[in-house]
Amino acid sequence: MTEEVAQITEPTFLDRITSLLEYDASSPLIFNSGLFLFLFVGFMAGYRLLRRATSLRIIYVILFSIYFYYKSSGIYFMLLIFASVSDFIIAHEIARATSQRLRRWLVAASVAINVGMLGYFKYTNFLIEIANSMFGAGFLDFQNIFLPVGISFFVFQSMSYTIDVYRGEIRPLERWTDYMFYLSFFPQLVAGPIVRAKDFIPQIRQPLMVTREMFGRGIALIAIGLVKKAIISDYISLNFVDRVFDAPALYSGFECLMGIYGYALQIYCDFSGYSDMAIGIALLLGFRFPKNFDAPYKSATITEFWRRWHISLSSWLRDYLYISLGGNRRGKWRTYLNLMLTMLLGGLWHGAAVRFVLWGALHGVALALHKAWLAVVPKAKIAGRDMHPVMRMLGIIFTFHIVCLGWLLFRAESMQEVHLMLYQIFHNFNTAIIGQVVAGYGVIFAMIAAGYVMHFMPERVDMKLSKKVGEAGFWWQVALLVVVAWCVMQVKSSDIQPFIYFQF
């Protein structure tokens, strides 16, 4: 009888195919899953067959990208199509408009549509929460609104296109399929990098060419990204960082401090790991993305940090928000205000919660203070690269801890949790148990140490290793990916862990 039931309930081949086509909210399609690897191999076979048929290849990639986004956000893939149609039409109208006033109204319409779409899905309940705190609980009812994965990324990307057309930096595309390809390109669709139209669009209709250097570099970046995300980030998160942040009162100040250091490494490995894989996959498809992370914890000043961390977002905020507000052209006090507004909005971009606003405010204040310091001490270095080695080391330590304070605000669920973590660190550090804690979390601390060693490795060593992978034969490169995949299988939890920035 048991065998008969098993035969009845066992999924058929058709059931498995159907499950591939259906959206499952509990199992989004992400790079570090076996399903993506399986689908990507099949996709690459078709992609290579269409290497000489440019228009068909573009449509083929669009269809796969829409499917990829559907598997992440379900029916909300329609938002992506809506944004592509809306801004494609508006860009053409901007280019045709003869009146500067009409051009301004059109670009304002593009910004309003994109920001309105983002605001509804991301900030409606946040605004309701604020209204209820002001006028009493129950003043407004919370809405059941699903946040589509990666909406913040493709909305910013689409806005940059219409703004660049308005500024005369690019001409509008003639084919909607080319714009849809740009906006939906799956490697960077759900978590960046935020690729500029002027950098990406010229590559769309170029003859497909993947050099040996591009292929090797792509394999190396995918392997590095998997190690960062699926081995280091996920392991220290599940086995240490999450436990400390969930109940900081149960841990000593030393463990709370190590939890913050661990989270700093976790979020870097998680997000830069995704960026590495996105850039690597794009290289395998013949496209080049700009670097999104440049060893940010090597920064000796907060200004240098924002030139190294999430480069595509920080440069977007600089070019489309900070400069639009006036940048540093209207006096020092207006410069400080512009920095604060830019970082506050940058914090709010990350999430609809007070802690993200406070995180943005901390970085805004730090950037303003550094700008003021540069005015007082003209010989001070913005990036700190030319500092005396001792001063640079001190600057790196100081900047890292300012950033870690920000990560505490970013990760903690409430200000009470922030206060409790800081109280434990400053009043209950308990140095006597450090040896016992390190021994008890030996694998965790070894992995954290290995992660930071990788991060602070000289750039020339990283480039040398990447070059070695690029010069290796095809089967050696395949063997590298197999070894990395095996290592991932040894340390992974029962469930695939989504990327942190999927929620943004």
Q: Please, what are the averages of pLDDT over each run of 10 residues along the chain (504 residues)? A: 51 65 69 76 89 91 91 87 94 91 93 90 82 77 77 90 92 93 88 85 88 85 87 89 91 93 94 90 91 92 92 90 83 87 89 86 92 78 70 91 94 89 91 89 91 87 76 75 73 60 56
Q: What are the phi and psi torsion angles at 220 (to 5°)?
A: -60, -45
Residue with tokens 């205000």, as numbered in its chain: 337
Which tokens in the block code for residue 58?
């573009």
Which residues lie below 8 Å from residue 327, measured CB to CB, with a gap of 6+?
Answer: 335, 338
How far is residue 296's CA from residue 293's CA, in Å, rounded to a whole number?
Answer: 7
Residue bearing tokens 């500029």: 196
Cα distance between residue 94 and residue 106, in whole Å: 6
Instruction: Catalytic residue, from 350, 363, 370, 455: name it.
Output: 350
Q: How many CB atoms lie within 10 A of CB 58?
A: 18
Tokens of 264: 């700093």
**Cα dihedral 296, 301, 302, 304 in deg (nearest 10):** -50
Q: Distance between CA atoms of 381 and 384, rounded to whole angstroms?
A: 5
Q: Which helix (H) or strand (E) holds 419?
A: helix 415-427
The reported pTM is 0.87
User: What distance in Å separates the CA atoms of residue 256 and residue 429, rounded to the nearest whole number?
Assistant: 9
**Token couple for 76:** 């909300």
Of 334, 319, 407, which Cα lies nearest the Cα of 368?
A: 334
DSSP secondary structure code for residue 326 in this structure: T
Tokens 């920064």 correspond to 299
118: tokens are 């983002």
Structure tokens at 104: 């301004």
CB 399 within 8 A of CB 303: no
State the Cα–Cα distance between residues 270 and 274, nearest whole angstrom.
Answer: 6
Question: What's the token pair of residue 359?
Answer: 């995180």
Element holding 238 (H helix, E strand): none
Answer whether the bond into residue 193 is a cis peptide, omega within 30°. Answer: yes
The Cα diameter of the chain in Å comes to 84
Contacts of 167 (CB under 8 A, 6+ apart): none
334 backbone φψ class: left, alpha, beta (φ>0; ψ -120 to 50) = alpha
Structure tokens at 19: 């499950």
CA atoms within 13 A on the CB side of 484: 22
Dig out the tokens for 69 from the structure: 């986004």
At residue 5, the pLDDT reads 46
**What's residue 1's pLDDT?**
46
Q: Identify whether the C-beta of residue 263 lies closer than 8 Å to the C-beta of residue 241.
A: yes
Query: pLDDT digits over 320-342, tens only?
Result: 988 888 877 877 888 889 999 99
Return the residue matching tokens 């395949």.
Answer: 478
Burial profile 328-366: b = 16 or more Cβ within 10 angstroms, e = fewer: eeeeeeebbbbbbebbbbbbbbbbbbbbbbbbbbbbbbb
Are the beta carbons of 84 and 180 closer than 8 angstroms?
Answer: yes
> Cα–Cα–Cα angle for 386, 391, 394, nearest 5°?
125
Rg over CA atoms, the chain: 24
- Residues belonging to the chain: 504
pLDDT at residue 493, rounded to an integer:
59
Per-residue DSSP letters for 353-370? SHHHHHHHHHHHHHHHHH
Query: Do 346 and 360 touch, CB atoms closer than 8 A?
Result: yes
Whose CA is closest to 178, among 162, 197, 191?
197
Query: Is position 350 annotated as part of the catalytic site?
Result: yes
